[in-house]
Amino acid sequence: MKVLISGGSGFIGTALVRDLVAAGDEVLVLSRSVRRSAQRLGVSAQVQVLGSLDQIASSDTLDAIVNLAGAPIVGRRWSDARKRLLRSSRLDTTEALLDLIRRLETRPEVLVSGSAVGYYGSHSTDMTLTEAADDYKPGFSHQLCADWEACALQAEALGVRVCLLRTGIVLGRGGALGKMLPAFRCGLGGPIGSGRQWMSWIGLEDEVAIIRFLLEQRTLRGPFNACAPEAVTNAAFATALGAALHRPARMRMPAPLLELLLGEASELLLSGQRVYPRRLLDAGYEFRCTSLAEALKKATAH
């Protein structure tokens, strides 16, 4: 299989590239920094890093495209400029991939395109959200994901099967967890706000395996919640992370302080979504890791 990946040098993308290479697949990685990505991924007969989609000829053949590009949404205030960057880094890349599909003489069979549980908006209830849920909460995070998904779905009119990956917090060596670890390792971690908000999580190994599953199962299309079956509250997550690191986790971050630091973006940490992967389970996907304690132990091991 020959796979083009946008965002292939990021946290999830790097793991996916290594998995595909180990399986004997050929990978093209689209990156704004060719040299850095080549150093990170290594370049071989199986991996090629591209600085532009123009390097792909119309006569070239791709079996699949995985679209993971997008600036990080957590950790900075959502200024108008930041919101524009968050949108453009997702939508402009997706539009460019659509243009590529249009000019290819042989179009790829499938596009797996990133999204997030933010599609459901910021919830403060215990409602379980499956892919069929229409009780999303309007706001920036929902609109960003909804527009990103709508853009990717245009590939269906070009004869390409489209799968949308609504991902939760990915637990691995890096990503969101990497930003939490310094405070928790110092014994300064703990719940955020009330701690009652839900956190939908997934192990990095499952995230990669789900992408491969969607690439290979040709009857699957549409949205899929890429989350472990058991979401947890923020307080439970903090306790589990403290236990994995053998550190106390009782230093609560007050909600007003977080709102002062991050403004509107604080909603991502002060509220959440209790998401359930109904369509993946119905399709026969078997999760490698359903235990948060196990996932955190693996992700924090030296």
DSSP, collapsed to helix, strand or coil, labels residue 159 as: coil
Q: What integer pLDDT is reported at residue 193 of this predicted model?
A: 95
Summarize pLDDT for 263-293 with one digit per residue, the tens.
Answer: 999 999 999 999 999 999 999 999 999 999 9
Q: What integer pLDDT is reported at residue 122 of this predicted model?
A: 84
Asked whether residue 240 carries a pLDDT value surpassing 80, the answer given is yes
Contact 274, 198 (CB under 8 A): yes
Asked whether residue 87 carries a pLDDT value surpassing 70, the answer given is yes
Q: Which residues contact 142 (CB under 8 A, 6 or more apart)?
A: 118, 119, 120, 121, 136
Which whole-number Å values give the CA distances from 21 to 47, 132, 209, 218, 288, in the listed order? Answer: 8, 34, 13, 21, 20
Summarize pLDDT for 197-227 with one digit per residue, the tens.
Answer: 999 999 999 999 999 999 999 999 999 999 9
User: What is the distance of C-alpha 12 from the center of its chain?
Assistant: 7
pLDDT (average), residues 155-162: 98
Q: What integer pLDDT is reported at residue 302 of this predicted model?
A: 65
Q: Name the band, by pLDDT with cuts 50, 70 and 90, for residue 133.
A: confident
Contact 281, 131 (CB under 8 A): no
Q: What integer pLDDT is reported at residue 42 of this predicted model?
A: 79
Asked whether residue 29 carries a pLDDT value surpassing 80, the answer given is yes
Q: Is the pTM of this model over 0.85?
A: yes
User: What is the residue-wise DSSP string for 266-298?
Assistant: GHHHHSB-EE--HHHHHTT---S---HHHHHHH
Q: Which domains does the chain have, with CATH numbers?
A: 2-300 (3.40.50.720)
